[in-house]
Amino acid sequence: MVDLWTNSFNGMDDGKEVYSIDPVLFKALGEIIENSGCTMPAAYGCRVPNLAAPYRGGPTAEAWNSFPEYVDDRALLYGRCAKKLKIHGTPLYNKICGHLVQTLGISTEAAKAAIPRNVIEWRRLRISQGGDTITAKGCQKIRSDARDSSFVRYSLLVDRHSRHRNVRPDLQPESQYGQLEHIFALPLKRRPTANDPSKKRTLLLALISEAPVFVEDTHEYKVISYAKGALKSGEVVDARTIQCLLGRVLDRNRFWIIDRSADCEFTFPTFH
């Protein structure tokens, strides 16, 4: 099949169709895909070897099936970490404080008073109804052959009129991309009401290092990438905004995002 794709099979050409791949390009693709095994989560399939190598007897049927993913373009918490996540005295403390001020409309002093010294952290979350399993980067064991399953797409409400003064905000969901660092439960104390006599409220939050992506819409399919080493320091968001697990391919100091659910509508997962 590869020989046919690269016009190397008994002198046969494309015929009436156009499906051939330039041999030089195919060789480069083979090397890039082989080197991207660690940034493609296991949920995306097995590691794909260099299919452009002269000897191709090693790849399995699953590897051949996974290859097109590189060129095409609700949740359950489990696996709690052994240790609690420390909050006070860390950069995460100020990020949580800012999130509470913005989302709950409380003062900075009230937000600081509501944040405990430690919180319970989870290692993984699973999107319900057959969705992805995502592992927080802060809980992963770093190995040279590890499969990274922490890069995600999530949704935030963005004001489309943010650049215009004296214009009523128009908040619309917008896709964001980044690496899940931590996912944790933040218990809060609150005044009881007639409808809800409970004095406690628990927020499920996630710390995600944002990726400043560049989106290209000039192709038939949307192409999204970001520069290597460009991940930001992280933002605290509602964990229920996490949409799905993503893969990445590194080429010339840029990570190119592989999103299997790019054509799907937004799904806001629920945690059990």
Please indicate, yes or no, whether the overall pTM of this predicted structure exceeds 0.85: no
User: In the chain, how many domains are there?
Assistant: 2
Domain end point (choices 28, 50, 71): 71
Whether residue 57 is found in the same domain as residue 189: no
User: How do the pLDDT tens digits run along the chain, 272 residues long?
Assistant: 666 666 666 666 655 555 566 666 667 767 777 777 777 777 777 777 777 776 655 666 666 555 555 554 345 565 544 468 889 889 999 999 999 998 888 899 999 988 988 888 888 888 776 678 888 988 776 667 778 889 999 999 887 777 777 777 788 888 999 999 999 989 886 654 455 555 567 888 999 999 999 999 887 778 899 999 999 999 999 998 999 999 999 999 999 998 887 554 444 444 44
Tell whether 153 and 180 lie within a shared domain.
Answer: yes
- Give the up-direction half-sphere exposure of residue 59: CA atoms within 13 A in the CB hemisphere: 22
State the virtual CA torsion across 196, 201, 204, 206 in degrees, nearest 10.
130
213 Cβ contact list (under 8 Å, min separation 6): 177, 224, 225, 226, 257
Residue 204's φ and ψ, nearest 5 degrees, are -95, 115
As a whole number of Å, the CA-based R_g of the chain is 22
Cβ 161 vs Cβ 168: under 8 Å:
yes
> Which among 27, 48, 71 is the end of a domain?
71
Residues 94, 126 within the same domain: yes
Secondary structure tally for the chain: helices H, strands E: 5, 13
Enumerate the β-bridge partners of residue 249.
256
**Full residue range of the structural domain in which residue 23 is found:** 2-71
> 243: part of which helix (H) or strand (E)?
strand 242-245
Instruction: Output the CA torsion sign for 202, 203, 204, 206.
Output: negative
Dist CA 221 CA 24 (whole Å): 23
The phi, psi pair for 64, rounded to 5°, reads -65, -35
Indicate whether 109 and 233 sit together in one domain: yes
> Where does a domain end: 54, 71, 88?
71
Own/partner pairs, 13-18, CB within 8 angstroms, 24+ separation: none
65 and 84 in a common domain: no
143, 251: one domain? yes
